[in-house]
Homo-oligomer: A and B are copies of this chain.
């Protein structure tokens, strides 16, 4: 088993900039988070441009698709913003890559108290090794197939259509 983790930004990777007082992107938290997991499964981390998923354009999703296509691994975890996670999942799902691709993210940034980021990373890393080929969203401790998931923004939870 070999695993690829692809960082694309999103709330998971938001960072507080103390000079501007705003949340944005700097270095990804994933190298530190992965070290903390003590994972012994062979894995590679690939960092794409870190974006708020509301700012993702078609070209950005195509870049994620290209990274999945190019990956030699059969199991892929994508750390992604929650707001358009299902849209990227749909692009990947339609491509039928024959790999197990699991998108996850966080409601609270990794560096902020009470964050779900590390739990979600663990959840996604686990199911990516076990699920059959396909494209999935893993949030709220649940697995959703790419074509039956939406974010309920008022409640802040993912749910089936």
Cα(A160)–Cα(B92), bound, Å = 34
Q: Please indicate the chain B residues that have their CB under 8 angstroms from the CB of A111 in the complex.
A: 112-114
Q: Is the CB of A37 within 8 A of B109?
A: no
Residue of A21, A118, A126, A159 with most partner-chain B CB within 10 A: A126
Interface range for A: 35 or more
| Residue of B whose beta carbon sits closest to that of A159 | B40
| Residue of B whose beta carbon sits closest to that of A19 | B156
Which A61-118 residues sit within 8 Å CB-CB of chain B? 107-109, 111-116, 118
Which A20-53 residues sit within 8 Å CB-CB of chain B? 21-23, 33, 36-41, 43
Q: Please indicate the chain B residues that have their CB under 8 angstroms from the CB of A131 in the complex.
A: 130
Cα(A1)–Cα(B144), bound, Å = 12
Residue of A21, A37, A39, A127 with most partner-chain B CB within 10 A: A21
Does A150 lie at the interface of the complex (its beta carbon under 8 Å from any beta carbon of B)? no
Does A145 lie at the interface of the complex (its beta carbon under 8 Å from any beta carbon of B)? no
Given contacts A119-B119, A119-B121, contact A18 B156 (CB under 8 A): yes
Residue of A115, A119, A123, A124 with most partner-chain B CB within 10 A: A119
A27 to chain B, nearest CB (A): 13
Does A8 lie at the interface of the complex (its beta carbon under 8 Å from any beta carbon of B)? no
Closest 6 CB pairs of A and B: A122-B122, A39-B141, A126-B126, A119-B122, A122-B123, A123-B126
A-B residue pairs in contact (CB < 8 Å), sample of 7: A1-B142, A36-B119, A38-B116, A39-B140, A39-B142, A122-B123, A126-B127
